A and B are shown apart, each in its own frame.
Chain A
Amino acid sequence: MPEAMFSVRALSCARGDRVLFGGVSFELHAGEALHIRGPNGHGKTTLLRALCGLGRPLRGDIRWRGERVRDLGDEFYAVLAYLGHLNGLRDELTAAENVWTYARIHGGADCDGKTVRAALARVGLAAAAGRPARHMSQGQKRRLALACLLVVDRPLWLLDEPFTALDVASVGALVSLIEEHLHGGGVALIVSHQAFDLPGIRAFDLEHFVRVKR
Chain B
Amino acid sequence: MRSSLLGAMRAVFVRELLLFWRRRTEVANVLVFFVIVTTLFPLAVGPERLELAHIAPGVLWVAALLATTLSLTQLFIIDYTEGSLDQLLLSPYPLTALVFAKLAAHWVLTGLPLALLSPLLAVQMALPDKAMPTLVLSLLLGTPVLTLIGAIPAALTLGVRGGGVLVSLLVLPLYTPVLIFGAEAVAAAAGQEFAATAHLSLLAAFLVLALAFAPLACASALRVSLD
Q: Say whether A associates with B.
A: yes
A89-B82 in contact given A82-B90, A105-B88 (Cβ < 8 Å): yes
Interface residues of A in 73-88 (CB under 8 A from B): 74-75, 77-78, 80, 82, 84-88
Residues of A within 8 A of B (CB-CB), count: 32
Do residues B10 and A77 form an inter-chain contact, with CB atoms below 8 A?
Answer: no
CB of B15 closer than 8 Å to a CB of A: yes
- On chain B, the residues within 8 Å of A101 by CB distance are 11-12, 14-15
A109-B82 in contact given A55-B227, A104-B8 (Cβ < 8 Å): no
> Which of B10, B18, B83, B91 has the most A CB atoms < 10 Å from its CB?
B83
- Say which residue of A52, A55, A77, A93 sits within 8 Å of B18 (CB atoms): A93
- Say which residue of B19, B87, B98 sits within 8 Å of A93 (CB atoms): B19
Interface residues of A: mostly helix, strand, loop or mixed? loop
Q: How far is the CB of B199 from chain A (nearest CB, A)?
A: 39
Q: How far is the CB of A62 from chain B (nearest CB, A)?
A: 15
- On chain B, the residues within 8 Å of A77 by CB distance are 90-92
A107 to B6, CA, bound (A): 10
A90-B227 in contact given A104-B10, A105-B98 (Cβ < 8 Å): no
- On chain B, the residues within 8 Å of A37 by CB distance are none
Interface residues of A in 90-120 (CB under 8 A from B): 90-93, 97, 100-102, 104-107, 109
Interface residues of B: mostly helix, strand, loop or mixed? helix
- Say which residue of A92, A107, A132 sits within 8 Å of B4 (CB atoms): A107
Do residues B84 and A89 form an inter-chain contact, with CB atoms below 8 A?
Answer: yes
User: Interface 1/0s, chain B 215-227, versus A by CB < 8 A?
Assistant: 0000000000011
A107 to B88, CA, bound (A): 11
> Which of B4, B22, B98 has the most A CB atoms < 10 Å from its CB?
B22
Do residues A105 and B8 form an inter-chain contact, with CB atoms below 8 A?
Answer: yes
CB of A53 closer than 8 Å to a CB of B: yes
Do residues B91 and A92 form an inter-chain contact, with CB atoms below 8 A?
Answer: no
CB of B7 closer than 8 Å to a CB of A: yes
A78 to B5, CA, bound (A): 13
- Say which residue of A56, A74, A93 sits within 8 Å of B22 (CB atoms): A93
